Each structure stands twice: as C-alpha cells, then as structure tokens.
Amino acid sequence: MGLLTGKVVMVVGGTVGLGGGIARAAAQAGAEAVFVTGRRRDRGEATAAELTALGAQAAYVEGNVADPAEAKEAVAEAISRFGRVDCLVNAAGLTTRGTLLDTTPELFDEHIAINLRGPFFTMQAAVADMVGRGAPGTIVNVITMSAHGGQPYLAPYVASKAGLVGLTKNAAYAHRWDKIRINGLNIGWTETEGEDAIQRQFHGAGDGWIEQANAGLPMGKLGQVDEIADFVVFLLSDGAAS
C-alpha cells in the first residue's frame, strides 16, 4: 500500500520540472489516477504515458493556468474523467526576471496570472468539488523561500508568491472544518530544466554552473526534484493529517 493508494491526484504544471517529478512520485505512491496539465502537448502526452507505465490511470489536458476559465475547466475535466479530485498540487510557476525598477505592467500581470490567480481558481474548483461531495481533500501549493524577500531581480515573482502564501493560509483556515488540508511548501533553489534555461538566459551561465552553485550552498547541492516530490506526496497523504 502506497501513501496515495486510491487517490485521484491533479498536478497543475505537472508535465516538466518539479511538477513532473511530483506527478511521477504520486504514481509511484499508488495513486489511482494522476491528471496533469501544462502548455506543451508533446511533454504532457509523454508524461501521461510514463505515469501509465508506473501503474496509474493518467491523463493530460493542455491548458494555460493564467486564464481563470481554463484553470477551472482543467479541474472540471479531471472530475469528468476520474469522478473526483482528492489531491491538488499547484506546481505551475513563472520565474522570469524583473526588478522593482524595470518590471513592466505586462510582466507583473503575467506573474500574478500564473503564480497567484491560477492557483486561486484551481483551488476554488477543487474545493467546491470536495465540499460538494462532503469529502476530505488535500492541496499543496508550491511557493518559494523568496516569498520572504528574495533577490532584487525577482520583484514580480516575489510579489506573486507572497500573495500565494497569504491565499494558502486563508484557504486553509477557511476550510479546516471541511477536513481539507491546504499547505504551502517554501522550496529553495532547485535543479530543474527550467532553472537551467533561466540561468543561461538571464545570468549568462554556461556548462558547469550547477557544480559551481552546489559548492556555494550549505548542503552542497541545489534542491532535488525527487526529494521535494516525496515530501509533497507525504503532505498529500493521510499520514500528514495528524
């Protein structure tokens, strides 16, 4: 018996990076079904096939969480296919750079749309399903240590993620008597494909940047997807209820 045996898990942004790792960990933990969303159909379909090979029912839907209608429709699609959503993970995120002085309104709005508004409306739809069924549920929002301040070049990212901290706390308090547990996970600098692209695009990183970064960190390594994913699975599980 795995930690998520019999659960229907939805991972928003679950096709690549940390979201993809969480989706795989959920399947390995015995989830009955894992439903993933993302904007790249090729990666999404490949992820769904991988999850099926791990023994879970799996499906992918292409969608942009920045659009509230698409965010809610994705949850509705998961419910239509699998009957319910027991566990929701909001792992989609935008980390493009901007300071207080050079961030445009368009960049600011893009961060708010993906990092804050999207999770608001996926939670709204998922919690409505849980409450409507009178069933317990779990939600994990992937946040960041940078929500406490962060580097100067992360101004719009920090603003959006700090908002997600407040939203997570509010929703957790509002629905505690519905037996819906809502947690936010403040992760640190993590080694992913997306982070590699960001480092190369915005910081001039070349091959070997990961080794250099590891050497400057207390634990000697960046955050690892599999380790974080295992903790998310625990937070989604009944074992984290006490």
Render 200-216 in DSSP notation, one character per residue.
Answer: HHHH---TTHHHHHHHT
pLDDT attached to residue 61: 95
pLDDT for res 1: 67
Share of the chain above pLDDT 90, in %: 83
Alpha helices in 54-192 (DSSP H): 68-82, 105-112, 118-133, 155-174
d(CA 233, CA 103): 35
- Distance (Å, rounded) from C-alpha 135 to C-alpha 54? 27
Determine the pLDDT at residue 155. Answer: 97
What does the pLDDT read at residue 195?
83
Instruction: Yes or no: say if 120 and 92 are a contact pair by the CB < 8 Å rule.
Output: no
What pTM was estimated for this model as a whole? 0.93
pLDDT at 30: 97
**Chain segment 186-215, per-residue pLDDT in tens:** 998 888 888 888 889 889 889 989 898 899
Going from N- to C-terminal start, the domains of the chain cover 8-188+225-240, 193-222
pLDDT reading at 151 higher than 70: yes
> Using one digit for the tens of pLDDT, what is the confidence trace for 161-187?
999 999 999 999 999 999 999 999 999
Mean predicted confidence (pLDDT) in 45-67 = 95
Q: Which CATH class is domain 8-188+225-240?
A: alpha beta
Mean pLDDT in the chain?
94
Q: How far apart are CA 4 and CA 11, in angstroms?
A: 14
- What does the DSSP 8-state code read for residue 71? H
Burial environment of residue 15 by CB neighbours within 10 A (0 to 12, 13 to 18, 19 or more)? buried
**Which residues form the catalytic set?**
157
Strand order in the sheet with 8-12: 57-62, 33-38, 8-12, 87-90, 137-142, 180-185
Instruction: Give the pLDDT mean for 137-165.
Output: 96
